[in-house]
Amino acid sequence: MSERTMTATDELRSKVGMEFIIRFYRMLKGAIFYDRQNVVVDQYAQDCLQTINPFIKSEGNLVFKIARDHGYLNVAKIQVRADHYPIFRGFLNELKKRRIGEIEISEEVSQEHLKDLVYLLVGLEENNESNDLYVNKQLEYRGIRHIHLEKLEFFKDEEIDVDSEDQKRRSKEVYFKSIHLVKEIMENVTSQKVLNIRKAKRLMQNAVNLILRDDSTLLGLANIKNYDEYILNHSVNVAIYAIAIGQRIGIPKKHLSHLGTAGLFHDIGKTKIPKEILNKTEKLSPEEWNIIRAHPIVGTEIVIRMKEWGELSTRMIQGAFEHHLRYDLGGYPKLSQKQNITLMGRIITLADFYDALGRPRAYNRFPYVSEKILGWMMERSGKDFDPLLVKVFVNMIGIYPLGTLVLLNTNEMGIVVRVQEESEFLDRPLIDLLFYQDGYYQKGERVDLTERDITTGQFKRSIVKALDPNEYAINIAEYLL
Ligand SMILES: [Fe+2]
Ligand SMILES: [Fe+2]
């Protein structure tokens, strides 16, 4: 496939492929909530047929296939735009966890047959190797011979077990190991010892692998802002946000780990700022501000002096030097010559700004809520920040980020555990409800805020506002991890 040049028809297949994914995925999710008789499902099925049937009419069949992390429609690779990426990944995950790798439709289909297929898919057990055989048999019983499924193929370099508990455990491990590593490296920078660069690279490669599979745990960890050592957590969070943005805009895997490492050490220049200034709670004097504002330059000097970075050196400099420059160069350090900020620098700027404002620290006692920070970012889009990246970032974080404690209009309380893939539902994430029993809050049912009441068509639950977990003595990490 990769040897073929992209022809006009392949381009069209790719376009139809994405449309197929969007519509099929919506129908699949509809089928999770509603029963077959529901009008919503009928509407989604009809939309889906408008993509499927004309395509079959012109090509003779439709074969959607997953190979590695790509989707193909009739052997043409589906190109995914940044804003479609979450939907694309969501759809692939739904099929992958049911071990389905291919859907083939060899004749035009009716709405009822399509619904048969979707309800069979939705009812499948996760990770069952014979799911494809089961669905094919069921379709056959119903006389549907023109729809056929194939098992998901695994490739040698792919890890087979996509176990969510394991993913959580490994995400936590990478997060806390990274914190230790940043601590070690930052300490050694000041004492001029040899640095463990290899370990940094390895950890960031692991982080990339985890984020590519499912970024919810690492993003969740980054969103919990109640750790004590600001600079360490901040460094790791910036790396995680940066990788997560990078993957959404299609940066290749190898460069993602470089981006992560650059994010991890963007503030390395702060190791030279006296602790009294960094931790000062009173207003800083102009001289003290100057010292703080010098950290991008100091950081760049540190990186240049360290030979160990090798090929990573350029990326590290971009992170350290550019992260306060701003998109229109209105930040610091002031440049004598006009210069463009690199993509890596623009990504790290965004990640750094978001994380820095969202957490308590010496000169910022009251962390701002995410909604407010994202609002500022949108306001400053095109001035401080790259407008395209702001869009991607806002979609990624959602109005209520993972781990937000929220009050619902049903008077229930819950924690945001997953942000929706579709941007129209940014304010309707998945929530784990909490209920108060035996003196503390316990985790209850998981609910999806896009769910509607079947009779009235109204949303069953909506968020009224975000709550401060400290006020309720709730440790979010306990529930999220
Ligand atoms: Fe900084
Ligand atoms: Fe920073």
pLDDT tens digit at each of 481 positions of the chain: 444 455 668 889 999 999 999 999 999 999 988 888 888 899 999 999 999 999 999 999 999 999 878 899 998 889 888 778 888 988 999 999 899 999 999 999 999 999 999 999 999 988 888 999 999 999 999 999 999 999 988 765 555 445 677 788 888 889 988 998 998 888 887 776 667 788 888 899 999 988 888 888 888 888 876 556 778 889 999 999 999 999 988 888 889 999 999 999 999 999 999 988 888 878 889 999 999 999 999 999 998 888 778 888 889 999 999 999 999 999 999 888 878 899 999 999 999 999 988 765 444 445 667 788 899 999 999 999 999 999 999 888 888 888 888 999 999 999 998 888 777 788 899 999 999 888 888 889 999 999 998 888 899 999 998 888 878 888 887 777 7
pLDDT value at position 33? 84
Which numbered ligand comes closest to the C-alpha of 230?
2
Residues 206, 346 within the same domain: yes
Residues 384, 414 within the same domain: no
Residues 224, 114 within the same domain: no
Is the residue at 2 inside a domain? no
pLDDT value at position 1? 41
d(CA 117, CA 107): 14
Among 379, 397, 415, the domain-final residue is 397
Residues 139, 192 within the same domain: no
Residues 262, 332 within the same domain: yes
Contact call for residues 380 and 271 (beta carbons, < 8 A): no
Residues 218, 330 within the same domain: yes
Token match 């539902």: residue? 425
What CA–CA distances, in Å, run from 459 to 42, 137, 410, 427, 451? 19, 37, 11, 12, 6
pLDDT value at position 68? 79
Among 122, 151, 180, the domain-final residue is 151
Which numbered ligand comes closest to the C-alpha of 355?
2
**Could you tell me the distance, in angstroms and rounded to a whole number, from the CA of residue 470 to the centre of ligand 1?**
28
Q: Please, what is the angle between helix 8-33 and helix 85-97, to 10°? A: 60
Residues 423, 308 within the same domain: no
Which numbered ligand comes closest to the C-alpha of 320?
1
pLDDT value at position 85? 82
Select from 49, 59, 5 the least CA-distant residue to 27: 49
pLDDT value at position 384? 95
**Could you tell me the distance, in angstroms and rounded to a whole number, from the CA of residue 387 to the centre of ligand 2?**
20
**Could you tell me the distance, in angstroms and rounded to a whole number, from the CA of residue 340 to the centre of ligand 2?**
20
Q: What is the value of pTM for the model shown?
A: 0.71
**Could you tell me the distance, in angstroms and rounded to a whole number, from the CA of residue 401 to the centre of ligand 2?**
20
How many CB atoms are located within 10 Å of the residue 315 CB?
24
Structural domain total, the chain = 3
Is the residue at 386 inside a domain? yes
Rg of the chain's alpha carbons, rounded to an integer? 24
Among 105, 129, 151, the domain-final residue is 151
pLDDT value at position 21? 96
How many CB atoms are located within 10 Å of the residue 367 CB?
17
Contact call for residues 154 and 61 (beta carbons, < 8 A): no
**Could you tell me the distance, in angstroms and rounded to a whole number, from the CA of residue 161 to the centre of ligand 2?**
35
Is the residue at 33 inside a domain? yes
**Could you tell me the distance, in angstroms and rounded to a whole number, from the CA of residue 269 to the centre of ligand 1?**
8
Is the residue at 67 inside a domain? yes
Compute the CA torsion angle 194, 196, 201, 206 (nearest 10 deg): -170
Could you write out the DSSP letters of every residue in 338-405? --PPPHHHHHHHHHHHHHHHTS-BTTB-SPPPHHHHHHHHHHTBTTTB-HHHHHHHHHHH-SS-TT-E
Residues 387, 409 within the same domain: no
Residues 326, 375 within the same domain: yes
CATH number assigned to the domain comprising residue 238: 1.10.3210.10
Is the residue at 158 inside a domain? no
pLDDT value at position 363? 45
Bridge pairing between strands 440-448 and 430-437: antiparallel
Q: Report the run of H or E that residue 417 belongs to, with start and end.
A: strand 413-418
Is the residue at 157 inside a domain? no
Is the residue at 156 inside a domain? no
Residues 64, 206 within the same domain: no
Is the residue at 1 inside a domain? no
**Could you tell me the distance, in angstroms and rounded to a whole number, from the CA of residue 372 to the centre of ligand 2?**
19
- The DSSP output letter for 471 is G
Residues 229, 359 within the same domain: yes
Contact call for residues 223 and 357 (beta carbons, < 8 A): no
d(CA 150, CA 27): 20
Residues 144, 261 within the same domain: no
Domain encompassing residue 259: 164-397
**Could you tell me the distance, in angstroms and rounded to a whole number, from the CA of residue 29 to the centre of ligand 1?**
42
**Could you tell me the distance, in angstroms and rounded to a whole number, from the CA of residue 282 to the centre of ligand 2?**
20
pLDDT value at position 155? 64
